[in-house]
């Protein structure tokens, strides 16, 4: 029994006005034209209320009866053919949706149905255009879809899954406004029926299939330790049974989600059920903590959600939360107290799983069918389910041992997929590589490696302009130890660092700095790989004169024994045997490498020092004159140009160490001239 609804009056009137199912209705397969005749158009467009009323009177009962009287075998025998399903990707999901409808799993059926619809309609657009719109609403409003399916069918689709004023079936389910069996299944049956009608309309058209995004790179990432996973289904069910944040209308859905994750190992289906409820619970907390009850119902939040989507489309390079309820401040610039209420650890894990563009983006990718839900790694599902349970335990006065352990883990979580965190991890990786290289050089030169500190570019006078005096000593020490100190410092608050309501020029510059630092990290990794390869090949050969003598003697024996070989082979061997000049060139080139090695080593150390110092100092930089960030951008670009060229010149097929030495001198000169202008 549902005691409270989260559908606004207008939405509730539209969705709940349809009549209940009556077994006496006659099953009927209406044509698209007959359905279209129920759509009422006035001066403002589709009259949604009147259109739903007419559909309920003439069409919806017949389609519902048609499907309710079909068993799964009859449904499959009627529609599992190329006439209806050839255009569909993963057609088995069509029959799985029908199975869910027949087994009283309307919620899951509708969630999967809207995903299935979005992916297949998007694929259909690819027969005419090269880029698919990001949103289901944009797909059904596309003139291209109208040209493929006709105006009648697309208008019906716009009524069901179009704008926020429409039935808006996808958003009301995926954003957690609908409770268990709150909305009639008639709308889901209608959408299913329309999908089946598309096959005959396009009549065998070959529809391309977009490749799925792979989440395998996250499969082995440890979001939380193994013992953070809820030990069994019973523990989770006990927690939700009497929890004040969980409405009675959501409990059956949560129990079903728990069953899918623990008993059926269907992690994608489990997350389909869980994520809308997770968003709903966060929205309830948001409303309560920020004292804004008007944002709890459908209409208000859908409008906000659409504004968020438009902003993301216009500013896709900006990093911020997909949900307005999770940004650091509200649209009126008032602080969003939910972020501080949940804490940095919780918000960090949530961001890695849900919102950071380079993180999992689970809700977005799942709801838009961007990956195969059947291949969702268990580690991701476990982390997301644990995050939900942690939210409930936080508002439980007496958490059990598992609950307390989970809260401790979450509170201490360190962000991994924020651009700054990624930049730091990239730098840590190449610092490890960098520390191995001097040992190789020392082995070749036959002496101990020493760290040279008299690099000709000095930045201490720049840092002195705005860095506190008690920290300046670190900034004047260009060493691996200092770099590690900077990288391991965690004073920066990464959560909502680029909130749209607080984005400043300095904030934009900060993102540009991080982008260049990450580019530098990628290129430095390649340079170090090139140097390592060169040392292992040319370096070994440089010191193996005796080996070459043995090889020459062996080659002479080879000629004596195999004098009957084909003359072309002898000719190639002859060239190899007499290539003393080639080996001399290689030795000379290796000597040029030795001459440039210390400078290359120091330049990589300087770039690492500069990058780590900037990451450590971001709060100081953004709080000061924008000319400081401008200076850092310029000097980073100087060294980005150098290191990009170094990638090419240090490759095993080039090895142009003399050219690299000239570029190094140019980078030094440009850097010092830039510093002189401060």
SS3 of residue 42 by DSSP: strand
Q: What is the pLDDT of residue 23?
A: 72
In this predicted structure, the answer to whether residue 260 has a pLDDT above a threshold of 90 is: yes
**Cα dihedral across residues 417, 423, 425, 426: positive or negative:** positive
Burial 536-564 (b: 16+ CB within 10 A, else e): eebbeebeeeeeeeeeeeeeeeeeeeeee
Please, are residues 431 and 591 in contact by the beta-carbon 8 Å criterion? no
Confidence of residue 450 (pLDDT cuts 50, 70, 90): very low
User: Quick one: tokens of 384?
Assistant: 């997301």
Please tell me the distance from the alpha carbon of residue 665 to that of residue 678, in angstroms, as a whole number.
Answer: 21
For residues 229-239, average pLDDT: 96
In this predicted structure, the answer to whether residue 63 has a pLDDT above a threshold of 50 is: yes
Q: Greater confidence, 574 or 21?
A: 21
Q: H-type helices in 578-651, by residue range?
A: 580-616, 618-622, 626-649
Confidence of residue 534 (pLDDT cuts 50, 70, 90): confident
SS3 of residue 593 by DSSP: helix
For residues 626-635, average pLDDT: 92
Q: What is the pLDDT of residue 72?
A: 97
Summarize pLDDT for 25-38 with one digit per residue, the tens. Answer: 778 899 999 999 99
Dump the DSSP string for 111-172.
Answer: HHHHHHHHHHHHHHHTTT-S---SSHHHHHT-HHHHHHH-HHHHHHHHHHHSSTTS--HHHH
Can you tell me which residue has the tokens 């029926």? 193
Q: What is the pLDDT of residue 353?
A: 97
In this predicted structure, the answer to whether residue 264 has a pLDDT above a threshold of 80 is: yes
Nearest to 255 by CA among 239, 245, 244, 540: 239
Please, are residues 209 and 123 in contact by the beta-carbon 8 Å criterion? yes
Could you count the other beta carbons within 10 Å of the beta carbon of residue 356? 24
SS3 of 393-460: HHCCCCCCHHHHHHHHHHHCCCCCCCHHHHHHHHHHHHHHHHHHHHHHHHHHHCCCCCCCCCCCCCCH
Summarize pLDDT for 266-302 with one digit per residue, the tens. Answer: 999 999 999 999 999 999 999 999 888 877 776 444 4
Burial (Cβ within 10 Å: 0-12, 13-18, ≥19) of residue 428 = middle
| For the chain, percent of residues with pLDDT exceeding 90 | 64
In this predicted structure, the answer to whether residue 303 has a pLDDT above a threshold of 50 is: no
Q: What is the pLDDT of residue 328?
A: 66
Residue 469 sits at the vertex; the CA angle it makes with 468 and 472, to the nearest 5 degrees, is 95
Q: pTM for the full model? A: 0.86
DSSP assigned state of 22:
-
Q: Which residues fall within 8 angstroms of residue 594, CB to CB, at 6 or more apart? A: 441, 444, 445
Burial (Cβ within 10 Å: 0-12, 13-18, ≥19) of residue 272 = buried
H-helix or E-strand spanning residue 561 = helix 545-561
Q: Greater confidence, 479 or 2?
A: 479
DSSP assigned state of 214:
P
Lowest mean pLDDT among 98-102, 487-491, 590-594, 668-672: 590-594
Please tell me the distance from the alpha carbon of residue 316 to that of residue 309, in angstroms, as a whole number.
Answer: 10
In this predicted structure, the answer to whether residue 322 has a pLDDT above a threshold of 80 is: no
Confidence of residue 22 (pLDDT cuts 50, 70, 90): confident
Q: What is the pLDDT of residue 573?
A: 39
């Amino acid at each position: 029994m549902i005691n409270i609804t989260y559908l606004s009056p207008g939405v509730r009137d539209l969705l709940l006005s349809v009549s209940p199912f009556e077994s006496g209705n006659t099953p009927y397969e209406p044509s698209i034209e007959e359905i279209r005749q129920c759509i009422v158009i006035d001066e403002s467009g589709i009259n949604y209320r009147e259109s739903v009323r007419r559909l309920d009177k003439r069409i919806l009962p017949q389609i519902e009866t048609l499907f309710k009287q079909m068993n799964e075998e009859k449904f499959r025998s009627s529609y599992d053919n190329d006439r209806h399903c050839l255009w569909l990707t993963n057609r088995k999901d069509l029959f799985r949706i029908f199975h869910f409808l027949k087994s009283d799993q309307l919620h899951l059926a509708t969630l999967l149905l809207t995903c299935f619809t979005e992916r297949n309609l998007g694929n259909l657009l690819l027969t005419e255009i090269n880029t698919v719109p990001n949103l289901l609403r944009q797909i059904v409003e596309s003139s291209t879809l109208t040209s493929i399916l006709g105006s009648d069918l697309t208008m019906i689709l716009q009524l069901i899954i179009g704008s926020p004023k429409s039935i808006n079936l996808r958003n009301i389910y995926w954003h957690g406004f609908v409770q268990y069996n709150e909305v009639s299944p008639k709308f889901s049956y209608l959408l299913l029926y329309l999908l089946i009608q598309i096959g005959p309309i396009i009549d065998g058209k070959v529809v391309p299939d977009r490749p799925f995004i792979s989440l395998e790179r996250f499969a082995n990432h440890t979001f939380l330790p193994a013992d953070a996973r809820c030990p069994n289904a019973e523990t989770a069910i006990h927690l939700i049974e009497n929890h004040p944040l969980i409405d009675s209308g959501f409990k059956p859905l949560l129990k079903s989600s728990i069953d899918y994750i623990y008993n059926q190992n269907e992690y994608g289906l489990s997350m389909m059920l869980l994520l809308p409820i997770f968003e709903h619970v966060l929205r309830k907390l948001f409303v309560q903590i920020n004292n804004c009850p008007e944002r709890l119902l459908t209409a208000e939040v859908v409008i906000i959600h659409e504004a968020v989507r438009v902003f993301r489309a216009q500013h896709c390079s900006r990093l911020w939360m997909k949900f307005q309820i999770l940004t650091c401040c509200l649209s009126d610039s008032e602080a969003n107290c939910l972020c501080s209420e949940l804490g940095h650890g919780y918000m960090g894990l949530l961001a890695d799983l849900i919102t950071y563009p380079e993180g999992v983006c689970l809700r977005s990718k799942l709801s838009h069918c961007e990956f195969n839900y059947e291949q969702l790694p268990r580690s991701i599902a476990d982390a997301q389910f644990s995050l939900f349970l942690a939210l409930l335990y936080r508002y439980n006065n007496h958490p059990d041992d598992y609950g307390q352990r989970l809260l401790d883990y979450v509170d201490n979580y360190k962000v991994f997929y924020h651009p700054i965190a990624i930049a730091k991890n990239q730098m840590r990786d190449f610092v490890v590589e960098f520390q191995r290289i001097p040992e190789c050089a020392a082995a070749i030169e036959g002496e101990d490696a020493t760290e040279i500190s008299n690099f000709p570019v000095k930045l201490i006078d720049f840092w002195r302009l705005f860095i506190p005096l008690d920290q300046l000593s670190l900034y004047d020490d260009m060493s691996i130890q200092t770099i590690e100190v900077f990288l391991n410092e965690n004073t920066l608050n990464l959560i909502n660092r680029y909130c749209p309501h607080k984005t400043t020029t300095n904030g934009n510059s900060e993102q540009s700095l991080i982008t260049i630092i990450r580019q530098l990290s990628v290129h430095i990794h390649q340079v170090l790989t090139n140097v390592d390869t060169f040392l292992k090949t040319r370096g070994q050969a440089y010191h193996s004169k005796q080996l070459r003598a043995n090889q020459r003697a062996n080659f002479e024996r080879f000629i004596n024994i195999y004098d009957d070989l084909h003359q072309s082979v002898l000719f190639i061997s002859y060239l190899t045997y007499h290539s003393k000049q080639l080996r001399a060139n290689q030795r000379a080139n290796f000597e040029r490498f030795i001459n440039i090695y210390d400078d290359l080593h120091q330049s990589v150390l300087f770039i690492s020092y500069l990058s780590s110092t900037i990451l450590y100092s971001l709060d100081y930089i953004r709080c000061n004159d924008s000319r400081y960030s401008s200076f850092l951008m310029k000097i980073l670009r100087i060294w980005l140009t150098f290191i990009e060229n170094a990638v090419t010149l240090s490759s095993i097929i080039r090895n142009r160490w003399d050219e690299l030495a000239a570029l190094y001198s140019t980078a030094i000169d440009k850097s010092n001239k830039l510093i002189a202008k401060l």
